[in-house]
Amino acid sequence: MKILLLCNKSPYPAFEGGPMAMNSIVTGLLNAGHQVKIMAVNSKKFNVTLEDIPEEYRQKTGIELIDVDLRIKPFQAFKNLFTNKSYHVERFISKNFNNRLIEVLKEDIYDVVQLETLFMTPYIETIRKYTKARIVLRAHNVEHLIWERIAKGTRFFLKRAYINHLARTLKNYELSAISKVDGIAAITRKDAAFFRKYSATITIDIPYGVYPDEFQPNYTIEGKPTFYHIGSMNWMPNEEGIQWFIDNCMDAVVAKVPDFVFHLAGRHMPDWLMNLKNEHVEVVGEVPDAKEFVANHNVAIVPLLSGSGIRIKIIESMALGKTVITTMVGAEGILYSEDTNIIIAENKAKMAEAIRRINENPAIAEEIGRAARKLVEEIYDNRKITERLLSFYDQIKPSSKITFV
């Protein structure tokens, strides 16, 4: 098969959730012997140069980076208040991207055009016009749900009103767009069920996958366990969750575990964290090797309050045999068994108790870590996931709504 991927950011380098999810699909398809072509939005926020990408990867994918200005412009954002258009989506509409897409579709024949995230769906009309390829939406999240949850947690009423506007317009757009594609590959079963409820488009869940043999677990905990979080802080739910944990849970945790230290790693650390003066929080910032950072710690804390889709860093921590303490939101999309391969802690009391229990009995973390690794091997092996995706491609039929020029 020939597959064209339209990406809202470059899949490489895969340093954060979105690129990691896209890159797992790319590597899975390439390893299965299929041809992949990538067109990716390149922005100031997530800027990549071709020199950042290995020559072999460039040759295998023919990756092209098209500059698109995604900066939030205050006047445009204000004007959007008086429209029913989604400002989130409008920012991704680019004449340059569209023109190059036309050229790419004229240059070759593709079996599938896969849209990585909702933000690539504005190009559906162009794709229909120039190809008979099946169009698949790879839905990393139910996008509007993220903003609905953020709005609920926003106290300042004017900001909450604006975020509600963004969520409403994004929802209207999302519910319309999912009926315009030939297939939806949601990243979780829960998201797939949502899309089936609102659209007749054939839908499957294709989770994030890893190659387990690339993750060497170490279940042994010597001495007291160490607690960590790793994630990019330019994703709002990550920052929101960490702030909630520090502001609302830390005192309860320290009361039970006086020598508790929370090791925080990730890109784009906000100033308030970098300047934080708290003996119980070590802000590491961006690390050169995420796997090495995780391998050197024992228990992941992922206190998410909002978001959708699957938490890639949770899957990778589980692949490394780590115990994960998270919320119900954080565990969404993972086929877990509570207290068997993950720990769910919804509030500060449960967070504090879970940390105390593991701190006093590290054998619990070792046992849960082994079960977590087993879950990854059974469900989240990228080879198995790629087979399901290819089977899904074969199931769907291209739309008859095609016009050639």
pLDDT digits 0-9 by tens, 348-373: 999 999 999 999 999 999 999 999 99
173 and 222 share one domain: no
pLDDT tens digits, one per residue of 79-97: 888 899 999 999 999 999 9
Whether 42 is in a domain gets the answer yes
189 and 222 share one domain: no
95-118: average pLDDT: 98
Note the pLDDT of residue 307. Answer: 66
Q: Is the pLDDT of residue 106 over 60?
A: yes
Tokens representing 275? 């300047």
10 and 135 share one domain: yes
Q: Is the pLDDT of residue 167 over 80?
A: yes
157 and 299 share one domain: no
186 and 326 share one domain: no
How far apart (Å, rounded) are the C-alpha atoms in residues 251 and 239? 19
Q: Which of 330, 380, 374 is nearest to 354 (CA)?
A: 330
228 and 191 share one domain: no
pLDDT tens digits, one per residue of 298-354: 999 999 987 666 688 899 999 999 999 999 989 987 989 999 999 999 999 999 999
47-57: average pLDDT: 95
Location of structure tokens 């565990």: 331
Q: Is the pLDDT of residue 61 over 80?
A: yes
| pTM (whole model) above 0.85 | no
Whether 343 is in a domain gets the answer yes
Note the pLDDT of residue 376. Answer: 96
CB 365 within 8 A of CB 225: yes
53 and 167 share one domain: yes
81 and 138 share one domain: yes
192 and 51 share one domain: yes
226 and 276 share one domain: yes
| Cα separation values, 274 from 97, 267, 305, Å | 36, 12, 22
Domain count, the chain: 2
Q: Which domain holds residue 36?
A: 2-207+382-395
Whether 402 is in a domain gets the answer no
Q: Is the pLDDT of residue 150 over 90?
A: no
Per-residue pLDDT band at 380 (split at 50, 70, 90)? very high
Q: Is the pLDDT of residue 399 over 80?
A: no
Note the pLDDT of residue 110. Answer: 97
What residues pair up with 228 in beta bridges, in sequence order? 263, 300
Note the pLDDT of residue 63. Answer: 98
Whether 405 is in a domain gets the answer no
Percent of the chain with pLDDT over 90: 81
How far apart (Å, rounded) are the C-alpha atoms in residues 167 and 145? 7
233 and 169 share one domain: no
Whether 124 is in a domain gets the answer yes
Whether 83 is in a domain gets the answer yes
How far apart (Å, rounded) are the C-alpha atoms in residues 357 and 335? 24
CB 352 within 8 A of CB 253: yes
What is the 3-state secondary structure of 162-225?
HHHHHHHHHHHHHHHHCCCCCEEEECCHHHHHHHHHHCCCEEEECCCCECHHHCCCCCCCCCCC
Whether 401 is in a domain gets the answer no
Whether 403 is in a domain gets the answer no
118 and 256 share one domain: no
CATH number of the structural domain spanning residue 52: 3.40.50.2000
pLDDT tens digits, one per residue of 129-148: 999 999 999 999 899 988 88
